[in-house]
Structure 1
Amino acid sequence: MGGNGKFRIWKISFSKSSSPSSPKSPIKPDPPKEFLCPVSGSLISDPVVVSSGQTFERISVQVCKDLGFVPNLSDGSVPDFSAIIPNLAIKTSIINWCRESHVEIPTSPDYSSIETIIRSRIAASASASPLVGDSEMELLEGVENNPPVLFSHAATELNPRRNNNYDYSSSSSDVSVIANGAATPLLPFATRPDCYSSSSASSEIAVFHEAQVWGEDEFFVKKFNSVDVTELEEAVILLRKRTRANDEYVRVSLCTHKLLQGIKPLLVSRYPVLQTNSVASILNLSLAKENKVKIVRSGIVPILVDLLRGGFEESQEHAAGGIFSLALADENKMAIGVLGALQPLLLALRSGSALTRRDSALALYHLTLVNSNRSKLIKLGAVGVLLGMLRSRVLVGRVVLVVCNLAVSSECRSALLDGDAVACFVEILRDGGESDLSESTRENCVAALYSLSHGSLRFKGLAKEARATEVLQAVVEHGSERAREKAKRILLMLRGRDEAEGEIDWEGVMEGGVSRTRYRVPTRYSNGLNSTEF
């Protein structure tokens, strides 16, 4: 019995062996097309159905999402990877087919092998893309090799952030407020925050391809509803790249009510990638003039205010830049003040990072063009903060602009005189020749003194104590045309003459004598307070 059992085992083993001499050796059939992954071309191990209905290997979908690649399928369709569902039915069919066809059941492929396949397809797609012709590619490559002059800021770029060591002892006006070029008018204020930077040509090409495939706001709204943190991070990074391109149409088309409401929860996320990239996207969207009022009305300003108070450092930078950008619209100035932005901006101006300080200063400048915001700032103790920064020579160029706006108001003017602003500006002008002080900042210091001199009986005494006459005389001799004009008017007032006097013997003023007039003009100066274009 044992022998027979052995013989039977040997016989079965022999009949099942795939001897080379056997004429009936089976040939493995090709698997059905629906069992193959459209990306890797291999038999699917862990099939998943994507939102657009196609079935893929799970690893293939993951790698495509990680690399930001959406393949064009053989039937001309484009898959939607926004959601995936396990396809148990096709998995069972594949296993049954493998057993019937004597084919080994597939195992999950290696991530790196799929990545290699997809990267090769990305390279092939870029070289043969119909979206950009050869001549256009040459132009884009030329831009990449010879980039245009950019702003001196780079916080919104997705590259690792650099350590910005700013010199606070000098004015930053020439760096950020005054545009490049000799023909630029004096002090045209920046219309983009310091933390904004346009993207490089190479990244714009990639975003161009992605946008052509995925569409616009509906895609992002769908992405923002995901519960997968990784997928949310991919969405906000892509939105940031998309809005960073210098394309007004793209920014306007993306800034819809749905998208703004969808991104709100991400702005308050405690995940650094979600928070910083979301607020950077809002900043980029706000650069389009048409979007400024829309963003404020969407209720995002209170969130930006909270981020300025306690967000991550990069989020604070973008929040300050966003508030500055939104404050450029006249319709927004009062609303931003009412929504509580003034105090956080004042605190950020004093203790924020370099970029946060710079954009907070310009945000305060634009907001203080409205009288209600000036009054609020005075009640918040802004005079002490601003004059303290001026005495420490911190952001002098930008802080002076804010003080110039405050000095227009009688209420603010009184508070500035109480804070000894006259002596502060006189000292800045006196040290201007020794420090790296820009001509525009010197002009604005004289303009601030001119505004402080109006309607105040105290100004003469404070100016005398600060020895302002000798400093103003130096301005008349060596200053710019606009600074000389303001300095002359202040000197005239200090000499006890009425502003209504006509032509004046300025040589007599300079020599310290009594000024002489040839005739009186019974009218006042028509330019009024703060008429200098800062």
Structure 2
Amino acid sequence: MGSGKHRWKISFYRSSPTALKPETKQPPKEFVCPISGSLMADPVIVASGHTLERICVQVCTDLGFTPILTSGSKPNFSTVISNVAIKLTILNWCHANGVERPTPPELSSVEKLVRSLIPPQEEKSPIKGKTGQEEEKEQDEVLKGVAEKPPVKFSYAATELNGRPSHLYTSSEESVNTGIPSTPLPFATRPSCYSSSSSSLDNVADETLNLMSPEEEEIFFKIKSLQVFEQEEAVISLRKITRTNPEMRVSLCNPRLLSGLKSLMTTRYSSIQINAMASLVNLSLEKINKVKIVRAGIVPPLIDVLKGGFSEAQEHAAGALFSLALDDDNKMAIGVLGALPPLLHMLRSESERARHDSALALYHLSLVQSNRSKLVKLGSVPTLLAMAKGGDLASRSLLILCNLAICAEGRTALLDATAVECFVEMLRKNELNSESTRENCVAALYALSQGSLRFKGLAKEAGAAEVLRDVEVRGSERAKEKAKRILQTMRGSERDEEDEEEEVDWEGMLDSETLSRTRLRFIGC
């Protein structure tokens, strides 16, 4: 009767008008394309880490236009990868909220939208559209400027824009320039045929240079130099500055310097690669720099260094990915760009530092559902279980396994790999090297016990109750609390089983003659 009433109440609630009233919900901002402003139907992640609608990226690329997003950053369209994880998340959200699945916007409407974002002067050609009178007028102005100034020899330092260091200028170039008896136009102005709006990247570069200190300028120009020894001087100097002067890390983390640093990360010269990677780690220590670095397209070369860089450079690459993964906005992008397989491989590195930083990077990346699914599909569970049984990565491997146990596919993979028996045996033998590792082991068991019917049977077979009671008595406060909850779950399951065994088959008894007589006697009383 009680269960019938309960069902009647539920059906009554569901049939009420208020329960069926649709709720309008706004989609999360990460589901909306920052260019089109609509729910994404075919999301892709670009090299800068932004997730955008594919057709918007295609139109921007075709028009040669890079928009400035609402965050003030510019996307990098050099690499485009389908973002399957966010697409599935969007579809699940639509299904859960009764929203129609998004469809890609029409090409014509996107082109119209993107063209409206392009400043009018950028659509004009710097030469097309000029009349013959305008061209003659410009030529007269140029000739007039030359006539007013006598022919003199200009040194490199006197004419170069923004005081570029003179040591980058070769003697052969100087002899050619100074040997011509002509007067160049002042470098403060540009030829009239040059339109400042025709190259927005150059404008950004000039603004960046104007904001640089002389020391920063020297580092930048050395990085861009073709001379290997100057590149080496630059990255050594940059590494020292970013290590000893934390306040300069933000100003140095600008698009031009990151671009130059990116070009040196995969060099074949060990000293340049190692110092460039170390400089990047130092820059990534500032929270405000983390998203900038990922959006500058640094993650792909970091992955290349992990796969085939010099040993010390690989250590710094793992450290950089760990540092960048601390920012929630970077976690999904780093996983989508392919950092998980090389990080898993680095867990077996001969370098202790590389192993530990890779494990920490994987832990923070596995806090995101899409990365948890990828790690399970990569077959990481057996590897992490083997490392959890012993070695210097036991505690950190257990932390990653705790994150994997949160998702359904992770729990299934762990239970299939006899993780329950493994964790119980580790606690029973007391082979764990620290109390924190012991806590993590109990936490992993607790994660597996949530929402899994298989866990109860496997825990009973492994003798988990006895081990957990011992933890409940002698463990830390955190371990005691987790062990207590697991035991409650197991005792609850046992009571449920007993209730099921003692449950009377009333329908069967009603059909029996014995019950009929018993009922008659009770009625007679």
Q: Normalization by structure 2: what TM-score?
A: 0.54
Cα 1:390–1:402 change in 2 (3 A) is same
Q: 1:69-468 counterparts in 2 under 5 A?
A: 80=165, 82-86=167-171, 215-245=214-244, 247=246, 249-432=247-430, 435=431, 437-468=433-464
Deviation at 1:352, TM superposition (A): 4.7
Matched with 1:495 is 491
Equivalent position amino acid for 1:455 in 2:
G
Contact 2:426 2:432 in 1 (8 A): no
> Residue 483 of structure 1: which of 473, 479, 486 is its match?
479
DSSP 3-state at the match of 1:495: helix
Equivalent position amino acid for 2:306 in 1:
L
- Separation in 2, partners of 1:499, 1:254: 64
Equivalent position amino acid for 1:491 in 2:
L
Give the gaps of 5 or more residues in structure 1.
Answer: 1-48, 55-77, 91-212, 501-534
Deviation at 1:86, TM superposition (A): 3.5
Contact 1:216 1:254 in 2 (8 A): no
Per-residue displacement from partner, 1:372-410 (whole Å, max 9, x unpaired)?
000000000010110111124341111111111111111
- Separation in 1, partners of 2:293, 2:261: 12
Deviation at 1:50, TM superposition (A): 9.4
Contact 2:220 2:234 in 1 (8 A): no
- Separation in 2, partners of 1:331, 1:226: 34
Give the gaps of 5 or more residues in structure 2.
Answer: 1-153, 176-211, 497-525
Contact 2:277 2:317 in 1 (8 A): yes
Equivalent position amino acid for 2:243 in 1:
R
Contact 2:303 2:342 in 1 (8 A): yes
Deviation at 1:319, TM superposition (A): 0.4
Deviation at 1:242, TM superposition (A): 0.8
Deviation at 1:488, TM superposition (A): 1.1
- Separation in 2, partners of 1:362, 1:251: 23
- Separation in 2, partners of 1:498, 1:331: 44
Q: 1:498-517 counterparts in 2 under 5 A?
A: none
- Identity of aligned pairs, percent? 59
Per-residue displacement from partner, 1:269-301 (whole Å, max 9, x unpaired)?
000011111111111100010000000000010
DSSP 3-state at the match of 1:269: coil
Equivalent position amino acid for 2:230 in 1:
E
Contact 1:217 1:259 in 2 (8 A): no
- Separation in 1, partners of 2:494, 2:158: 84
- Separation in 1, partners of 2:216, 2:362: 32
Contact 1:301 1:336 in 2 (8 A): yes
Per-residue displacement from partner, 1:299-333 (whole Å, max 9, x unpaired)?
01011011111100011000000000000000000
Contact 1:50 1:85 in 2 (8 A): no
Equivalent position amino acid for 1:424 in 2:
C
- Separation in 1, partners of 2:173, 2:281: 44
DSSP 3-state at the match of 2:348: helix
Contact 1:492 1:499 in 2 (8 A): no
Contact 1:334 1:373 in 2 (8 A): yes
Matched with 1:43 is none
- Separation in 2, partners of 1:421, 1:379: 17
Contact 1:217 1:256 in 2 (8 A): no
DSSP 3-state at the match of 1:458: helix
Contact 2:390 2:432 in 1 (8 A): no
Deviation at 1:223, TM superposition (A): 0.9
Per-residue displacement from partner, 1:431-461 (whole Å, max 9, x unpaired)?
33xx462222211111110110122222122
- Separation in 2, partners of 1:495, 1:413: 21
Q: Normalization by structure 1: what TM-score?
A: 0.54
- Separation in 2, partners of 1:341, 1:499: 46
DSSP 3-state at the match of 1:268: coil
Per-residue displacement from partner, 1:242-270 (whole Å, max 9, x unpaired)?
111251x3000000001011112111100
Matched with 2:469 is 473
Cα 1:348–1:79 change in 2 (3 A) is closer
Matched with 1:142 is none
Contact 1:489 1:499 in 2 (8 A): no
Cα 1:470–1:87 change in 2 (3 A) is same
Per-residue displacement from partner, 1:137-193 (whole Å, max 9, x unpaired)?
xxxxxxxxxxxxxxxxxxxxxxxxxxxxxxxxxxxxxxxxxxxxxxxxxxxxxxxxx
Deviation at 1:82, TM superposition (A): 3.6
Cα 1:338–1:499 change in 2 (3 A) is farther
- Separation in 1, partners of 2:223, 2:285: 22
RMSD, matched Cα: 2.7
Q: 1:20-59 counterparts in 2 under 5 A?
A: 52=157
- Separation in 1, partners of 2:413, 2:280: 36
Which is further off, 487-496 or 290-299?
487-496
- Separation in 2, partners of 1:303, 1:346: 17
Contact 1:50 1:81 in 2 (8 A): no
- Separation in 2, partners of 1:250, 1:89: 34
- Separation in 2, partners of 1:89, 1:377: 57
- Separation in 1, partners of 2:164, 2:333: 44
| Bigger relative contact order (CA 8 A; separation at least 6) | 1
Matched with 1:513 is none
- Separation in 2, partners of 1:224, 1:457: 59
Equivalent position amino acid for 1:463 in 2:
A
- Separation in 2, partners of 1:442, 1:322: 29
Equivalent position amino acid for 2:241 in 1:
R
Contact 2:456 2:493 in 1 (8 A): no
DSSP 3-state at the match of 2:450: coil
Deviation at 1:497, TM superposition (A): 4.9
- Separation in 2, partners of 1:50, 1:491: 83
